[in-house]
Each structure stands twice: as structure tokens, then as C-alpha cells.
Amino acid sequence: MDDLITELPLYRRSAFPFKQNYEGRGFLNLSKTGTSVNVGYCIAAASRCEYIHLFGCDLGWTSSKGEYGADQNHYFADYRARITAPQIENIRMDFIHLNFSQQLSSKIKVINYSEKSMIKYFDKYQTPIKGQGPTILNYLKSYIILLFDELIRTLKRGITKLMKLIGIK
């Protein structure tokens, strides 16, 4: 499967091929960018599902040092995630739901079953809270933050590689 699933930076529109998959334009694109929920959205779009039911998509990221079982966002005790900037992780994950809502909210109804969820684009099942569509301002704010974050990550990787090349540990 790894040959079929891409993981592009969040600032690239191609990381969110939902509408393209729904319309059947070209090959099926599966993007894991940010989260495996993104793959689910890609498959649901290509399948032209009428409904998606979200369970456990809370966006309640907290700091984690990478110990086993310390990540509240995954159900497996052996999962390890090192999360140093949970605020950025929440924005990154929210951006995926924002893009899906932006592209396909008129075609696929998403129902969010998590009461604690911070995702605001979809109707909640247990409460009368209706989803609010993403705004251009919300999209641009998240996009700029994520672009800046990706530039910093790229710079850090480049500096690390350079240090290894010149023998600094």
C-alpha cells in the first residue's frame, strides 16, 4: 500500500484530492497527509458515499514525549507519538477536515459522533450543533501557519543534514 498512498506537505492542494476522486478524474489518489483519516476521506469520496460517520476525531492533541500509551489520540497501547507542539498538530489535523468540508460538504454529509470534538465543520450527532462551513479567512490563516511550520521543519532537516555532512554531531 505504501506505493499507492502519498504523504505530501499540507500546503499542497494535491494533498487533498477529495473532489477529484469524487468526480472520477484521473487515477484514484490516496493521501495520508497528516492523518489516516485523510485516506478514509479519499476512499469515501471515490466511493461517492452519501454519509461519513466520524468517531474519535477530537483534535485534542496534547504534548507527548513519545512514550508507549501516552498518546490519547490513538487507541493502541503500543502507539508512540512525539508531539512537541500540540497547537500546531490541532491546526494541521483541522486543516484536513476543513479541506474535505470545503470540497465535498454539498455532496457527502459528515456526522461527528464525538462530543468533545473540536471539529466545527460537521454536524454533531448527540447535540443540536450544526456544522459551520469553512471560511476563506479560516482557510488562509491555517494555510499560512502550516506553510510557515513546514518551512521551519524543512530548514531544521537541512541544517541537520549539513551538520552530518561536515561532521558536527
- Rounded Cα–Cα distance for residues 66 and 114 (Å): 25
Residue 119 placed within a domain: yes
Residue 165 placed within a domain: no
Is 160 or 44 the better-scoring residue by pLDDT? Answer: 44
Enclosing domain of residue 108: 5-154
Residue 13 placed within a domain: yes
Reply yes or no on whether the pLDDT at 8 is more than 90.
Answer: no
Reply yes or no on whether the pLDDT at 107 is more than 90.
Answer: yes
Q: What grid cell was written down for 136?
A: 476563506
Q: What is the pLDDT of residue 78?
A: 67
Residue 77 placed within a domain: yes
Q: Which of 40-44, 61-65, 72-76 has the lowest mean pLDDT?
A: 72-76
Residue 163 placed within a domain: no
- Rounded Cα–Cα distance for residues 44 and 27 (Å): 15
The count of domains in the chain is 1
Residue 161 placed within a domain: no
Residue 143 placed within a domain: yes
Give the pairing of strands 64-65 and 82-83.
Answer: antiparallel
Residue 87 placed within a domain: yes
